[in-house]
């Protein structure tokens, strides 16, 4: 059965099994931290599938996770900020996709992994760009989040830098990310269709891999403990840095 399903998805059985495990784990991370689902999938899976194919899969994963987490996200989120970021992201996604679809696979893999590592390190270092906490910075952050989504489906990490600049409470940040990712997933679909990234194969893959991701989100939410909240984000960011660097080293040196 596994072999048949893997063949249907145009994957080897080993690649299929690895992606199932990656999606489940990434879902867990999203369930207890509120972000990093796509970043985990991209950082772990970029050596299995080209980033442009993973972006289409991540669309379904993000949409599924956002629906499962929407109730808490809507309550805690700064809705005006989330909507403004989504508007900027809608404009930015085509620019990222234009870049991703016009470079060699190896180049797009390196670029995606490097982007994840840089964004994660910046958040770990709590780098604050004060100019982001302005109206122009709000829409600019949304635009750059869209570009990052088109490159590596990691727009949420750019938005996290904006929220950090605003020094928003952790719960508001988590809720705003959840709401932004839900709205962004809907608008991103238009760009994915326009660039031909969202084809029949991508849809089937996305729907299948959304199942382990959804199970992971549920498990992550069950594992969430308010007392541990300060540790979730640093753990996730360190994990992303490690995965991205490991992927870069494998691409460059074949280790």
Tell me the HSE value of 74 on the side-chain side, using a 13 A CA sphere.
8
- pLDDT reported for residue 74: 64
The answer to whether 232 and 32 have CB atoms below 8 angstroms apart is yes
- The whole-angstrom separation of Cα 159 and Cα 239 is 19
Residue 42 inside a domain? The answer is yes
Burial of 41 (0-12, 13-18, 19+ CB in 10 A): buried
Answer left, alpha or beta for residue 49, where phi above 0 means left and psi between -120 and 50 means alpha. beta
What token pair was written down for 209?
């891999």
Angle at 77 between CA 76 and CA 81, to 5 degrees: 160
The answer to whether 146 and 91 have CB atoms below 8 angstroms apart is yes
- pLDDT reported for residue 17: 94
- The whole-angstrom separation of Cα 42 and Cα 36 is 10
Residue 8 inside a domain? The answer is no
* Among 96, 97, 86, 88, residue whose Cα is nearest residue 62: 86
Residue 189 CA to its chain's centroid (Å): 14
Residue 1 inside a domain? The answer is no
* Among 127, 134, 36, 26, residue whose Cα is nearest residue 84: 134
Give the total number of structural domains in the chain.
Answer: 1
- pLDDT reported for residue 224: 74
- pLDDT reported for residue 14: 94
- The whole-angstrom separation of Cα 152 and Cα 114 is 10
| Domain limits for position 128 | 13-253
- pLDDT reported for residue 170: 67
Residue ranges for the chain with pLDDT beneath 50 = none
- The whole-angstrom separation of Cα 80 and Cα 87 is 11
Extended strands (E) in 39-173: none
- The whole-angstrom separation of Cα 80 and Cα 91 is 17
Q: How far is CA 174 from CA 13, 32, 54, 72, 252, in A?
A: 35, 10, 24, 9, 35
- pLDDT reported for residue 8: 85
DSSP one-letter string for 146-171: HHHHHHHS-HHHHHHHHHHHHT--HH
């Amino acid at each position: 059965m596994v072999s048949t399903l893997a063949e249907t998805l145009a994957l080897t059985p080993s690649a299929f099994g690895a992606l199932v495990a990656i999606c489940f784990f990434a879902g867990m991370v999203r369930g207890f931290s509120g972000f990093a689902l796509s970043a985990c999938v991209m950082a772990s899976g970029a050596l299995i599938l080209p980033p442009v194919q993973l972006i289409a899969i991540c669309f379904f994963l993000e949409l599924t996770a956002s629906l499962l987490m929407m109730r808490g996200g809507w309550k805690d989120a700064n809705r005006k900020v989330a909507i403004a970021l989504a508007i900027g992201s809608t404009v930015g996604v085509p620019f990222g996709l234009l870049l991703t679809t016009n470079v060699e696979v190896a180049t797009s893999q390196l670029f995606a992994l490097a982007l994840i590592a840089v964004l994660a390190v910046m958040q770990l270092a709590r780098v604050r760009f004060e100019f982001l906490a302005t109206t122009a910075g709000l829409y600019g952050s949304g635009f750059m989040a869209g570009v990052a989504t088109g490159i590596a489906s990691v727009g949420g990490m750019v938005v996290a830098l904006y929220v950090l600049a605003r020094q928003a409470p952790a719960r508001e940040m988590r809720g705003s990310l959840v709401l932004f990712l839900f709205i962004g997933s809907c608008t991103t679909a238009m760009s994915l269709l326009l660039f031909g990234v969202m084809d029949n194969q991508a849809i089937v893959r996305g729907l299948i891999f959304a199942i382990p991701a959804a199970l992971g989100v549920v498990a992550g939410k069950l594992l969430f403990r308010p007392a541990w909240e300060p540790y979730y984000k640093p753990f996730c960011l360190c994990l992303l840095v490690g995965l991205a660097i490991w992927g870069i080293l494998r691409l460059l040196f074949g280790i």
